[in-house]
Structure 1
Amino acid sequence: MKHMMVVVSMEEEWSTLKSLVQESYIDEGQQPSFSSTGSVEVCDLIVASRSVSFHCAVLKKDMTEEGISQALDSCFKSCSQGVSTFLLLIQNGRYKKRESRIMEFMQACYGPELLKFLIVLSLETEAVDMLDDALLGLINVSDGRYCRLTTTTLGTSDMLLPLLEMFDFMLAENGMIGYTEHMDSEAKSRYTADTSMKILTLKLQEAEEKEHAFKELVQKREEYRGREMQELKAKHAEDRKMEADVKRQYETKRESLEEAAMSHGAMLQMQLNLTNNDNGKKTSIILVGMSGSGKTSAINLISERVGNQYSINEAFPGVPSSTLTCERKVVLAEGRRLVLVDTPELWDEDGAENMEQVKDCLALSLPGPHIFLLTIQLGRFTQGESEMVSRLQKIFGRGFTEHAIVLFTHRNDIGRHKIESINDYVAGAHASLQDLLRKCGSRYYILNVWRNSRNSPSYSQVKDLLSGVHKLVASHGGGPYVTKRFPVEQLKERKRVIEERLM
């Protein structure tokens, strides 16, 4: 009688078993024969006068469950005399995840009866100190049927005797029968039924999930309708609030226009009272400061307010671009010609003085500047600005601070809070800023340079600033500040060149 053994093995382990068998039968008279039937490889040999036939379903690492099932079925059908046992090949006592996955699938396909006919065969080419827990668990459920082929048993066909002894013990436990076709048929029926039940369970779960999703969708739509109603109510309330705000803004604009009209009348009256001799009077102001501090915006606003320019539908001007050269504006204010000189930064990134720009600003303010307006953007005080006074004293002389006024420029277009009191702001300012103000005689003013504010206080701010300018000029006897760095004739020639260039 031939013992049919279905070998479940990966390619590497099957190759190792074939090599061991061939080496063991080198000196034997009857060599094992190897053949193949389709995808099934067969090894027939004689062990202790008993005929043994290994039918191997060689499995690959990337095979799907369907591929494994087809390979095992082909191997099962090739055993014409029935399957005596299932032989799981592992190497050096290692029960890997791939073998574990195959065994789980085989139990599902061939039923729990499979474990009664399973022998685990370890091909050991090296010493094995310990078996892992997964392998011990498999050995336990297969009633301890674990057999090893070690290097100490090689070289003779007797190396397979321990396997035959384990095989005989297994047959004795199972009534001298192997795994039958009836067992296989029942296992396949159960597997098909289980698979169908899983499919039905999955479909039921999908249906429940769809029902749950539909209920959630209905709930979300109801919540959305509720939110829509709340939003409509909120919008109606907001519209009513906006109507009230528009009314308040209209009243504020009307009050601002009345203020502008009163200021305009006062300035016209002052201009009518001017004498011809007064037209020769002039106050020169040089605005200095860091780039972006608002010098150009301040000059534009002073010019407009002194010139009584005001519009209800005033545009929303953007922030002026950086000044690159010295520029001059001349306006008539309170009986004097007001010369406003705009400047870029008078030093470079390394702190070196820009001599040409210094000459230009002095030339445009001849016979000399009466006032230096040191502009600082409100809320932005940098390290460079804290060093400005010492730099400007090096440029214009030690007397610079005696003719300096600090002008804070404010932009309410960039989300800052309205400044209620400039004095409160200064009182809480950084020590470096307070030190700068002390050096400039604690003379400071604020100017809102964002002109589109409907409640702009710029008229009164410009008026306060010019009043402070006139007071400081008067304190110096009305004369300009004269620096001795450059000859007057040189500055006059430079002024003439600048004016000709602008014509």
Structure 2
Amino acid sequence: MCTPKRIVLLGKTGSGKSHLASTILGPDVFTSYHCAKSGTQKVQAETTCVNGRSVTLIDTPGFFDTERREEQLKPEIVRCTTECAPGPHVFLIVLKVDRFTHQEQHVITKIREYFSDDALNYSVVVFTHGDDLQEGMTIEEFVSQNKNLSDLVKRCGGRCHVFDNKHWNNNQHNDYRNNQNQLEALLQTIDTMVMENNGSFYTNDFLQYVEDRIVKYEENIRDDRVNSTPAEIRAHAKSLVFNEVLIQLAGTATGALLGALFAGEVALATGAIAGVTIATAATVGAVVGGKAGCEQHICFISAIFQCV
């Protein structure tokens, strides 16, 4: 069986991530929410076959929301990391077709702040509520009306698509305003992007370390649970690594964790690693022992985690 393409949905609460997940994977796979103040609270991951392709879709809470508390987001950022390790084939940055308020601009600013250029090479901007487009307008024309939005799409290689969960299902009268056609176009964009990236997925030291830990736990579990399926072993290993990483990164701010996930950078009080300066590290707080501002450059893996 081929390895599923790992797809991570990102966007603020109310952007329509769960609706989009249901459109991609089919109804009843993910819970969709209609209240802007509820939305996805926990990372959810499901694997299925879509248009002949094996896909693992990972839905996430609003990592870039201004009102979300750190104690809510931190475990979900770690959970996203364990679910998509050793790295996603694509990030879907989900936005609404709507007038861009300060909140929407803030989300775009945060994405551009946290994402490395490398991560954006594996990203597609996907819009929901496509029926709000003016009649005859394409999503590219809509994007061109906002400079910040246009710049983000350009940094994502010009890749953008549009869906409408409410109005475009089984729409036979308009090829463009049709979720089935848009889904196939999105999957082809992902296929092309993966091919242009030489078949690889996005990864970094943090994601690779998490994968290595999962594989190590899988080996131990396999010896003890000979009757368990590979999927059951993998799920149990991920839960163990989630707990391990969450404890080890207890003192890390969510901004540093987002940097670790999207740019391969995480700040420690013990010094500068993975491109983070000592000054930045001192402002984040301790993850492991040591004095803030220490000038010693230390190994990313051994500084954060102790192998067991």
Identity score, percent? 24
> Which secondary structure state, in structure 1, belongs to the residue aligned with residue 85 of structure 2?
coil
> Of 437, 457, 462, which residue of structure 1 is paired with 2:153?
437
Question: What amino acid is aligned across from residue 157 of structure 2 in structure 1?
Answer: G
Paired with 2:235 and 2:85, the residues of 1 have a C-alpha distance of 8
Aligned to 1:337: 54
Could you state the TM-score of these two structures normalised by the residue count of structure 1?
Answer: 0.37
1:373 corresponds to 2:108: no
Aligned with residue 24 of structure 2, among 302, 314, 319 = 302
* Residue ranges of structure 1 left out of the alignment (5+ in a row): 1-278, 308-316
Deviation at 1:436, TM superposition (A): 1.8
- Alpha-carbon distance change, 348 to 391 in structure 1, aligned in 2, over 3 angstroms: same
Q: How many residues align?
A: 209
AA aligned to 2:187 is: L
Q: 1:301 to 1:453 in 2, by over 3 A?
A: closer
Listed as ranges, the matches of 1:349-360 within 5 Å are 349=66, 354-360=73-79
Equivalent residue for 1:469, pick from 190, 200, 207: 190
C-alpha change, 1:484 and 1:462, in structure 2 (3 Å) is same
Q: Would you tell me which structure has more strand in proportion to its own residues?
A: 1
Deviations 1:246-273 (A, max 9, x none): xxxxxxxxxxxxxxxxxxxxxxxxxxxx
| TM-score between both structures, scaled by the size of structure 2 | 0.58
Structure 1 CA distance for aligned equivalents of residues 140 and 111 of structure 2 = 25
How much is the aligned-residue C-alpha RMSD, in angstroms?
Answer: 3.3
For residues 402 and 384 of structure 1, the distance between their equivalents in structure 2, rounded to whole angstroms, comes to: 25
Mapped contact 1:392–1:400 kept (Cα < 8 A) = no
SS at the partner of 1:485? helix
Higher relative contact order (CA 8 A, sep 6+): 2
Point out where structure 2 has 5 or more consecutive residues left out of the alignment.
173-177, 218-233, 241-308
**1:411–1:434 CA distance, 2 compared to 1 (3 A):** closer
CA contact (8 A) 1:289 1:375 kept: yes
Instruction: Select which of 386, 392, 401 maps to 2:120.
Output: 401
Aligned residue in 2 for 1:241: none
Distance 1:364 1:318, change over 3 A: closer
The DSSP-based 3-state class of the residue aligned with 1:448 is coil
Distance 1:383 1:491 in 2: 40
Q: Which residue in 2 is equivalent to 1:455? A: 171
Question: Which structure is larger by alpha-carbon Rg, 1 or 2?
Answer: 1
Preserved contact between residue 117 and residue 155 of structure 2 (Cα < 8 Å): no
Give distance in 2, aligned partners of 1:399 and 1:472: 13
Matched, 1:322 2:49: no
Give the letter aligned to residue 446 of structure 1.
V
Q: Contact (CA 8 Å) 1:281, 1:336: kept in 2 or not?
A: no
Give, in angstroms, the shift of residue 299 of structure 1. Answer: 0.7
Maintained 8 Å contact 1:376/1:406: yes
Query: As a proportion of its length, which structure holds more helix?
Result: 1
Counterpart amino acid of 1:439?
Answer: R
In structure 1, C-alpha distance between the alignment counterparts of 2:184 and 2:106, rounded to whole Å: 29
**Residue 280 of structure 1: SS of its match in structure 2?**
coil
Is the 1:371–1:405 Cα contact (8 Å) retained in structure 2? yes
Aligned pairs for 1:123-162 (under 5 A) are none
